[in-house]
Structure formats: structure tokens, C-alpha cells
Amino acid sequence: MSDRNPRRIKAVDRTLDILETLRETDGSTVTAIADEVGLSPGTVHTYLSTLHSRGYVDQDGSEYSLGMFILPLGEYVRTHSPVYQAGKHALDELAAETGETSHLVVASRGKEVPLYERFGPDAVGERLYERNKVTPKRNLHCSAAGKAILAHLDDRHRADVLDEYHLAERTDHTITDLSTLQEELADIRGRGVAFNDEEQVLGVRAVGAPVIGGDSVGAAVSLSAPVSRLRDERFRTEFPDHVRQAANIVQINLTTA
């Protein structure tokens, strides 16, 4: 990567550390936050007071939590994303047609960010997917969408991502060996679709296809469902056909916008 050690402003880092701590703990006290971020309680209180005055932090007695003014920032980023604009309708149709959960995923800084999800009439696991939206995760190696994105990056970009990547074991089925993952990514490039066979969550399978725009790829469409409903031809043929078609529609929408 071009600049691995850019100049940084400590106050901004500290502010973001505090906000991320509030997100991860679902609210906390000054003392607990100070212990987590390595600052004095007095310093943390000053940061929290400033954020509270701007509406980005709420206070209830001694407990602090993220404020409602955080929400418009995220919504602005999502709704102004060309991928979201190009893919929302296609994801709605995909979920309605299959009855399962459709996902529009982007990759940023080696992490997976769910941009949009639609739950079909038979979908399960909504609470799990809602929790996953809260923070970017290093799931590129074990989710169908993530593997589809990784496989179709140019060689240099993929090498940069994997150079600093930890192949965390999410389940007993997760690929944790780099050579094995590289072979899997080569297979994905050949067939144009990625499979997640209980590699991220036990009992859940998924199929993903990349959304390729211009000379790069940073997004993918996927479908997920319980193993009990995603077997044999539905897993290996039917779902791949659906996600390829949806990804193609998103790609066309992106290039003709």
C-alpha cells in the first residue's frame, strides 16, 4: 500500500476510539471507557462532554451512549453510495424471488461492510445480521460475498489485503490456511461464484457473486439460507444463477448511471 504510516492527529484517534468503545459496549461509564482507551477519566469526560454538546453522544446519569446525530452520517454515506443506488431494487427482487436473505456487501480496508440487506418471507437469522451491521468485520475469507470480492481483486490489491489479514477461525469449516484460500479464490475466479459452506456461521450456507465495475471490484451480492433449505442443486446451481443475475444487474446499473 502507498502509505502505511501517515501522519495522524491524536485527538481524532482518541475521539474515534471513544465512539467505537461506546458502540462495542452499547454504552458505558467514564471510568470504564478510560480503562478501555488508555486515557484518564478527566480527559475522557472532556471528550464526552464535547461530543454530547454536538449530539453525537447521549448521557443518562453516569452512562454514556452513542447519540442520534450519528445516524444521519451513516445514512448519508449509504444512500449516496453508487453501489447502493444501483443495487437496492435488485436485492429486493432477489429476496422476494428466493424467499431468503439477500446481501449487498462492500469491502473497505480489508473488512466487510454490509451495505444493504433484504429479508425474504422465509428468511431466518435477522437478529444476527442486524448485529453484524454494527461494526466492520474481517470476514472476507469466510463469507460468500467477501470471497467473491477477494477473488476478483487485481493481484497486487489482493496481495496487499492478505498481507495484513488474519484468517480467523469462525467455525470448524473456516479456511485458515493462506495457500488453501488462494486455491479457493482461483476456483472462484474460474466459476464466477463463491460458496460459504458454514464457514462463517454454523447452520448457514451462502452463495456470492462479484459486482465488477470498471477495472476494480469492491462489492458483491450474496444469498444466505439455512443448510436445511440450501442443499444439492439449490446450493450449487439455483442460488448461483440467482446471484450472478442480480450482480450483473447491479453492474449494469452502475455502468449506465
Number of independent structural domains in the chain: 2
Q: Are residues 124 and 247 in the same domain?
A: yes
Q: Are residues 224 and 105 in the same domain?
A: yes
Q: What is the pLDDT of residues 66-101, one digit of tens each?
A: 999 999 999 999 999 999 999 999 999 999 999 999
Q: Are residues 87 and 212 in the same domain?
A: yes
> Is residue 184 assigned to a domain?
yes
Q: Are residues 30 and 100 in the same domain?
A: no
Q: Report residue 216's pLDDT band, with 50, 70 and 90 as the boundaries.
A: low
Q: Are residues 195 and 151 in the same domain?
A: yes
Domain that holds residue 106: 81-256
Q: Are residues 59 and 162 in the same domain?
A: no
Strand stretches in 4-95, DSSP E = 28-29, 57-60, 63-66
Q: Report residue 3's pLDDT band, with 50, 70 and 90 as the boundaries.
A: low
Question: Does residue 184 register a pLDDT over 80?
Answer: yes
Q: What pLDDT does 146 receive?
A: 97
Domain boundary among 72, 89, 106: 72
Q: Report residue 5's pLDDT band, with 50, 70 and 90 as the boundaries.
A: low
> Is residue 3 assigned to a domain?
no
- The CATH number given to whatever domain includes residue 204 is 3.30.450.40
What letter does residue 171 receive in the DSSP assignment?
Answer: S
Question: Is the pTM above the cut of 0.75?
Answer: yes
> Is residue 85 assigned to a domain?
yes
Best CA proximity match to 70, nearest among 49, 52, 44 = 52
Q: What pLDDT does 2 receive?
A: 47
For 103-135, give one letter per residue: b (16+ CB within 10 A) or e: bbbbbeebbbbbbbbbbbeebbbeeebeebeee
* Alpha-carbon Rg for the chain in angstroms: 20
- The CATH number given to whatever domain includes residue 22 is 1.10.10.10
Write down the mean pLDDT value for the chain: 94
Q: Which residue has the cell 428466493?
A: 98
Q: Are residues 32 and 157 in the same domain?
A: no
Q: What pLDDT does 213 receive?
A: 73
Q: Report residue 4's pLDDT band, with 50, 70 and 90 as the boundaries.
A: low
Question: Does residue 64 register a pLDDT over 50?
Answer: yes
Of 17-21, 27-31, 90-94, 133-137, the one with minimum mean pLDDT is 133-137
Q: What is the mean pLDDT of residues 133-142?
A: 90
Best CA proximity match to 188, nearest among 157, 163, 210 = 210
Spatial distance between the Cα atoms of 149 and 157, rounded to a whole number of angstroms: 11
